[in-house]
């Protein structure tokens, strides 16, 4: 139990913020955690389930006297929230976020941060397909990565505090430059999500394959896609709109490769297919060796218990 901040404010109370709260409580990382969500219903739910020490009726009230303010709203809403809370931020406080895109957030939030307040963008690489205040759990960040994306001239002490908070939440912390972050995430997360959304949409469109059959016989492959494609629509809309260039670049590459494989199928080129599939197996082995997943039949998710 090492308290890192006296007061933490969470703006937006979805999966990430609620998981942060439970992880902060688990670790005793903050004296008080305040919370605010735009929706009255979300605030009511939060109060009912004991999410945050104090739920405030405005973002201004929530950030007052906070040493750390974490913006946990969709990427497209970050700029507006930053503008709104800017006048109420405590001098010396740190503002951070949990957005899946970093360059656009820096551009939207940065200009609103007052002199004397630190701004350290961050991105915890963790999530489930669930959303809302009730979806969070204390172990979400355990053994996952949290990327800090500091802008030039960031205060080392403020960095150390934020790093300690995320480590206290169970995460491994790494630093990365914003543009590079957005490209890496386009590969590992953004493009795969759009692809999964697309495939699920195609299945839904097919009239000859009735819904019930697609659902009934979804055990292989497709089921994993539907899980990815069940993620929060607002969050993902904003991700694609704000990481447009990197996502479109990766999708362009993807389409090229897919066409090459389609051609191999059409031409009956089994060797091409076999070699390709053999190569992709190695990547899976790398992921298991890197400890980002396990080889066990429950795919390492048994530990993600509430």
Q: Which of residues 121-180 bind a second copy (CB under 8 A)?
A: 125-129, 137, 144-145, 147, 174
Q: Whose Cβ is closer to a second copy: residue 48's or residue 253's? A: 253
Beta bridge partners of 36: 11
Closest distance between a second copy and the C-beta of residue 230, in Å? 4
Closest distance between a second copy and the C-beta of residue 235, in Å? 9
- Cα 109 to Cα 111: distance, rounded to the nearest angstrom: 6
Within 212-251, the residues that bind a second copy by CB under 8 A are 212-231, 233-234, 236-238, 240-241, 244, 247-248, 250-251
Residues 126/141, Cβ–Cβ less than 8 Å: yes
Cα Rg of the chain (Å, integer):
21
CA angle 222, 225, 148 (to 5 degrees): 160
Half-sphere exposure of 234 (CA within 13 A, CB side): 12
Q: Whose Cβ is closer to a second copy: residue 117's or residue 184's? A: 184
Binding segment (CB under 8 A) for a second copy, from list 5-13, 110-118, 152-160, 193-201? 193-201
Instruction: Quickly count: other Cβ atoms within 10 Å of residue 268's Cβ.
Output: 8
Closest distance between a second copy and the C-beta of residue 178, in Å? 15
Q: How far is CA 200 from CA 127, 203, 239, 257, 294, in A?
A: 20, 5, 19, 20, 26
Binding segment (CB under 8 A) for a second copy, from list 8-16, 26-34, 156-164, 288-296? 288-296
Within 16-75, the residues that bind a second copy by CB under 8 A are none
- DSSP assignment string, 64-106: TT-SEEEE-S-GGGHHHHHHHHGGGPPTT-EEEE--S-SHHHH
- Cα 137 to Cα 140: distance, rounded to the nearest angstrom: 6
Say whether residue 80 binds a second copy (CB under 8 A).
no
| Closest to 240 in 3D by CA, of 200, 194, 202, 199 | 194
Closest distance between a second copy and the C-beta of residue 258, in Å? 5
Residues 33/10, Cβ–Cβ less than 8 Å: yes
- Cα 231 to Cα 16: distance, rounded to the nearest angstrom: 13
Closest distance between a second copy and the C-beta of residue 111, in Å? 21
Closest distance between a second copy and the C-beta of residue 122, in Å? 14
Closest distance between a second copy and the C-beta of residue 114, in Å? 30
Binding segment (CB under 8 A) for a second copy, from list 45-53, 65-73, 120-128, 149-157? 120-128
Q: Whose Cβ is closer to a second copy: residue 157's or residue 273's? A: 273
Residues 254-273 as x/- pattern, contact with a second copy by CB under 8 A: xx-xx--xx--xx-x-x--x
Closest distance between a second copy and the C-beta of residue 11, in Å? 21
Say whether residue 194 binds a second copy (CB under 8 A).
yes
Q: Whose Cβ is closer to a second copy: residue 26's or residue 222's? A: 222
DSSP class of residue 72 equals -
Residues 120/158, Cβ–Cβ less than 8 Å: yes
Say whether residue 197 binds a second copy (CB under 8 A).
yes
């Amino acid at each position: 139990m090492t308290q890192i901040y006296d007061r933490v404010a969470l703006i937006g109370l979805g999966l990430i913020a609620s998981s942060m709260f439970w992880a902060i409580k688990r670790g005793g990382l903050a004296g008080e955690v305040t919370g605010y969500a735009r929706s009255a219903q979300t605030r009511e739910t939060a109060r009912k389930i004991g999410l945050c020490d104090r739920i405030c009726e405005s973002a201004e009230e929530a950030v007052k006297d906070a040493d750390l303010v974490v913006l946990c709203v969709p990427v497209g809403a970050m700029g507006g929230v930053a503008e709104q809370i800017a006048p109420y931020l405590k001098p010396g406080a740190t503002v951070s976020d949990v957005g899946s895109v970093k360059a656009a957030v820096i551009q939207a939030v940065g200009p609103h941060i007052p002199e004397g307040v630190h701004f350290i963008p961050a991105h915890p690489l963790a999530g489930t397909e669930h959303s809302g205040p009730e979806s969070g759990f204390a172990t979400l960040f355990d053994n996952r990565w949290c990327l800090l994306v500091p802008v030039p001239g960031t205060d080392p002490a403020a960095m150390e505090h934020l790093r300690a908070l995320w480590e206290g939440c169970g995460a491994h912390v790494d630093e990365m430059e914003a543009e590079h972050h957005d490209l890496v995430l386009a590969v590992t997360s953004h493009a795969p999500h759009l692809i999964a959304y697309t495939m699920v949409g195609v299945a839904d469109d097919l009239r000859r394959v009735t819904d019930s059959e697609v659902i009934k016989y979804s055990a292989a492959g497709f089921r994993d896609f539907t899980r990815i494609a069940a993620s929060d629509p607002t969050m993902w809309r904003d991700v694609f709109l704000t990481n447009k260039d990197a996502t479109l670049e990766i999708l362009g590459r993807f389409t090229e490769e897919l066409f090459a494989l389609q051609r191999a199928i059409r031409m009956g080129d089994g060797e091409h297919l076999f070699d390709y599939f053999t190569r992709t197996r190695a990547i899976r082995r790398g992921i298991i060796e890197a400890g980002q997943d396990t080889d066990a039949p429950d795919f390492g998710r048994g530990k993600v218990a509430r």
